[in-house]
Structure 1
Amino acid sequence: MRRELSGWGRVPRTDCAVIAPRDEAALRAAIATGPVIARGNGRAYGDAATQSRGTIEMRHFNRLLAFDPETGQVEAEAGVLLADLIEAFLPRGWFPWVTPGTKFVTLGGAIAADVHGKNHRRDGAFRSCLDWVEVMQQDGSVVRAEPGDDLFEWTVGGMGLTGVILRAGLRLRPVSTGWIRQQMVPAPDLATAMEVFERDTGTYAVAWFDCLGQGASLGRSLVMLGDHATPEDLGEAQRAAPFNIPRRRRLKVPMDAPAFALNRFTLKAFNALYWRAGLRKAGESLVDWDSYFYPLDTIDEWNRIYGRPGFAQFQCVLPLATARPGLEALLKAISASGQGSFLAVLKRLGAQESRFSFPMEGYTLALDFPVSPKALQLLERLDAITVDHGGRFYLAKDSRLRSDTLRASDPRVGAFVEMRETGPRYRFASGQSERIGI
């Protein structure tokens, strides 16, 4: 069957031959047709999970296989969503050790992108909670790989290009409530926000920032620090049912927003309102887990707010030594362009040594831009600033990076391509890998 597919950014759109195997035999037959790429829930933003000649949908591989209540290890198939893990295990006192900003990603997708969360500085990326992965390779064989094995190290963060991830064993985090003890810290500028990150010793930290701020307000931010609450932090009624949280009302974007709805004036008004709302919430409060980790997950199809042309997310990480001047240069370029973003996020990342994963010690910046010729020109400028400051790019969010830009930003590309030449390149390829030459 052929179907038009895209990533969460809705661009590029690709006419794909879609295969949805229900067992390993059917999956093995699909791989033999090559080139193919596995696809989970379609939450990569660009073309990392589309292949015109063969896109393998893995959502039928969605079983929870085993759980060890002593260690918190779950064995699960690659099509299981993080939302499924939370629904099954949070009432038992377990939560994902690492989670990105949406719970609607599959386990296979989280491994392929080596996703990171608000706790990377302290706990690392998704790799840190993985005990093993099972991968179907180009010859149809299934291999279990553990940390330190070449297959494991290239698969975690390898964007699905080493084979099809089938199953994994991962550890969950013990928690005693479903609440987060949050501290909202308004920061009038980028320097102050970075100071908050540098002195924080808690589990989670993330900042929304005003990307249109200028002068003394450049990078003004709301830094949200968090730790898992204990029963002692809760009120009497909450302690009686510590994992019961208020059900959030689900909303849905009913149609594509018109192009004129997103402009400098609406962005400036939104940012001013959001900043003032954050000031009113300054200090400590209790926030339920869903609101803290996944604020956008209650808005179905929120990607439609950017209109029919779709949007591109820019996400880079800058090394600690050049993070401040690099961030200032990026923010000045964005502010001067007038093409700010509603969803502007800053996080502090910790040290990480890995074969091809995104994180490095420093600061990561993420912004969304409606696709337009002017926005694409700005993104080229932001790419150049990132490269000039020793940064690199998050392939899970990429939809338009050039091959030469990738190579200028990441010296690991050569080794990754060399590994791929041994066989996976001819069986596993995505629209993204063909576009950027990996």
Structure 2
Amino acid sequence: MPAETVSVTGWGRTAPSVARVVRPRSYEEAVEAVRGCGRRGGIARGLGRAYGDAAQNAGGAVLDMTGLDRIHVIDTTGASATGSPACGAGSPAHGAAGGTVLCDAGVSLHRLMEVLLPLGWFVPVTPGTRYVTVGGAIGADIHGKNHHVSGSFSRHVLSLDLLTADGQIRTVERGTPLFDATAGGMGLTGVILSATVQLHPVETSLMTVDTERATDLDDLMARLTATDHRYRYSVAWIDLLARGASTGRSVLTRGDHAPLDALPARTRRAPLTFRPGQLPAAPLHMPDRLLGRATVGLFNELWYRKAPRFRTGELQKISTFFHPLDGVPHWNRIYGRSGFVQYQFVIGYGKEDALRRIVRRISGRGCPSFLAVLKRFGEGDPGWLSFPMPGWTLALDIPANLPGLGGFLDELDEEVAAADGRVYLAKDSRLRPELLASMYPRLGDFRALRAELDPRGVFVSDLSRRLNL
């Protein structure tokens, strides 16, 4: 089985650690890798899009699961497979709404789109990148622009195969404690080997998109509250360098999958074509100070001004609407060698004053973030460490070399916790452990299940050590 000792980091490139990376190509090799993790344990890793240290394990093993990348069954009949590739595929069982796919955990959402879109199906939830694996999507319980109507990814997972610390492979059904601990559990209950996922039917590979400007944060929240229910997908880019009367000015983008009759006649001949474009990769070495207040301020001004005040019905490619940054390979390099921190939190409805204070503080601090988005979450998801809860979520990228950034984010953590909010563990690299229990009320249940399931601490990561998960 291929293995090498290398430096491993998250997508933010802020806290590298050295680990022995093992690359299993079969379930049997995955079992062998878990049994041979050693005293520093191991953690599964997909395509490395977790921003912080969730898929790192200093001095231990990291299981690169991208070699397990088979799509086993695509069921478009409204049935779902009750078996698993590890335990033997069973016969279809009716009851699942729409189509399903049974695939290995190392399959990327990009690959699923390549295969499924021509058949008229789409993944139920996608984040801002399609280069995440199914296993990573479950472990982080990813969310997208449709959480207000569809929830997070794990809500659409019917079952999964989990390799636990004792070397056994268990089929875990939705609605069980082990499923709820694994969904959003950051890989700490075991190694996900495969999953059966419900799909969303589509007629085309295009989106019909409405775009409008909001003059400030209150205007944005009012527009989202009043009309978000009309759209399956909704997100707002927010200018966090704007101040005064323009604080929180935004560009609101919402849409849905375009029906066939919305396409021009020439496009209807191949309505499900999926060909995402790609620009040249970001250079390997970029200056650390490229994204400072001046350059980001200029970008934000131009981005806001070029957006239409109000436009409806624009047709966009799926890749343009969901994953614009995927068109620039290795875009995380633009922050230079120091890397960047992505900070994401959620604050419940009724706590809008706290959101206003935080946005004003970020704006007043002059954090140069060209990539900041605000969304509304719907009902919370059953995962014990799942991030979404009903409320407002703000995510922003910040250069890691910004002076005083650590202390400033610590203060924001305190304000988020005081408002009964939480930060997203899949993007975290610096949260203080004493705040975790107030943010995640089921933390005690998660720790108890882990202690019972994995008493020797086989599954461990830099994140779990730092936060005592």
TM over 0.5: yes
Return the match for 1:55 from 57, 62, 71. 62
Return the match for 1:244 from 242, 253, 273. 273
3-state DSSP of counterpart to 1:76: strand
Separation of aligned partners in 2, 1:304 and 1:26: 33
Q: Please, which moves more after superposition, 399-408 or 310-319?
A: 399-408
Separation of aligned partners in 2, 1:25 and 1:239: 46
3-state DSSP of counterpart to 1:16: strand
Contact 2:375 2:393 in 1 (8 A): yes
3-state DSSP of counterpart to 1:360: coil
| Offset at residue 313 of structure 1 (A) | 0.7
| Offset at residue 33 of structure 1 (A) | 3.1
- Residue 414 of structure 2 corresponds to residue 384 of structure 1: yes
3-state DSSP of counterpart to 1:340: coil
Q: Structure 1 residues 380 and 256, CA, compared in 2 at 3 Å: closer, same or farther?
A: farther
Separation of aligned partners in 1, 2:181 and 2:131: 24
| Offset at residue 365 of structure 1 (A) | 0.4
Return the match for 2:296 from 260, 267, 278. 267
* Aligned AA (1:65): H
Separation of aligned partners in 1, 2:275 and 2:118: 14
3-state DSSP of counterpart to 2:192: strand
Separation of aligned partners in 1, 2:213 and 2:177: 44
Contact 1:256 1:306 in 2 (8 A): no
Separation of aligned partners in 1, 2:209 and 2:312: 8
| Offset at residue 110 of structure 1 (A) | 0.2
Contact 2:141 2:153 in 1 (8 A): yes
Separation of aligned partners in 1, 2:30 and 2:259: 44
Q: Structure 1 residues 147 and 275, CA, compared in 2 at 3 Å: closer, same or farther?
A: same
- Residue 62 of structure 2 corresponds to residue 26 of structure 1: no
Separation of aligned partners in 1, 2:337 and 2:218: 37
| Offset at residue 306 of structure 1 (A) | 0.8
| Offset at residue 13 of structure 1 (A) | 0.3
Q: Please, which moves more after superposition, 258-267 or 49-58?
A: 258-267
- Corresponding residue number in structure 2 for 1:82: 109
- Corresponding residue number in structure 2 for 1:3: 6
- Corresponding residue number in structure 2 for 1:133: 160
Contact 1:334 1:340 in 2 (8 A): no
- Corresponding residue number in structure 1 for 2:325: 296
Separation of aligned partners in 2, 1:108 and 1:31: 16
Residue correspondence of structure 1 range 22-421 to structure 2 within 5 A: 22-34=25-37, 35-52=41-58, 53-71=60-78, 72-199=99-226, 200-201=228-229, 202-244=231-273, 247-279=276-308, 282-322=311-351, 324-354=352-382, 355-372=384-401, 373-421=403-451
Identity in percent: 41
Contact 1:8 1:45 in 2 (8 A): yes
Contact 1:334 1:378 in 2 (8 A): no
Separation of aligned partners in 1, 2:15 and 2:123: 31
Alignment coverage as a number of residue pairs: 437
3-state DSSP of counterpart to 1:191: helix
Unaligned runs of 5+ in 1: none
Q: 1:273-296: per-residue Cα shift (whole Å, max 9, x none)?
A: 000111367443111111001010
Cα RMSD after superposing both structures: 1.4
Q: Structure 1 residues 217 and 421, CA, compared in 2 at 3 Å: closer, same or farther?
A: same
- Residue 459 of structure 2 corresponds to residue 428 of structure 1: yes
Q: 1:48-100: per-residue Cα shift (whole Å, max 9, x none)?
A: 01112110111111000011121211000000000000000101100101111
* Aligned AA (2:24): P
* Aligned AA (1:371): A
- Residue 16 of structure 2 corresponds to residue 13 of structure 1: yes
Greater per-residue helix proportion? 1
| Offset at residue 424 of structure 1 (A) | 2.3
Separation of aligned partners in 2, 1:79 and 1:382: 35
Q: Structure 1 residues 278 and 350, CA, compared in 2 at 3 Å: closer, same or farther?
A: same
Contact 2:345 2:416 in 1 (8 A): yes
Separation of aligned partners in 1, 2:7 and 2:446: 29
* Aligned AA (1:311): F
Contact 1:115 1:126 in 2 (8 A): yes
Separation of aligned partners in 2, 1:359 and 1:226: 21
Separation of aligned partners in 2, 1:125 and 1:332: 29
* Aligned AA (2:186): M
Contact 2:129 2:326 in 1 (8 A): yes
* Aligned AA (2:36): T
Separation of aligned partners in 2, 1:278 and 1:265: 20
Q: Structure 1 residues 212 and 3, CA, compared in 2 at 3 Å: closer, same or farther?
A: same
Separation of aligned partners in 2, 1:244 and 1:66: 21
* Aligned AA (1:391): G
- TM-score w.r.t. the length of structure 2 is 0.91
3-state DSSP of counterpart to 2:452: coil
Contact 1:347 1:365 in 2 (8 A): yes
Q: Please, which moves more after superposition, 206-215 or 415-424?
A: 415-424
Contact 1:186 1:282 in 2 (8 A): no
Q: 1:372-394: per-residue Cα shift (whole Å, max 9, x none)?
A: 24222221122122112111011
Contact 2:212 2:309 in 1 (8 A): no
Contact 2:211 2:309 in 1 (8 A): no
- TM-score w.r.t. the length of structure 1 is 0.97
3-state DSSP of counterpart to 2:261: helix
Separation of aligned partners in 2, 1:157 and 1:167: 16
3-state DSSP of counterpart to 1:259: coil
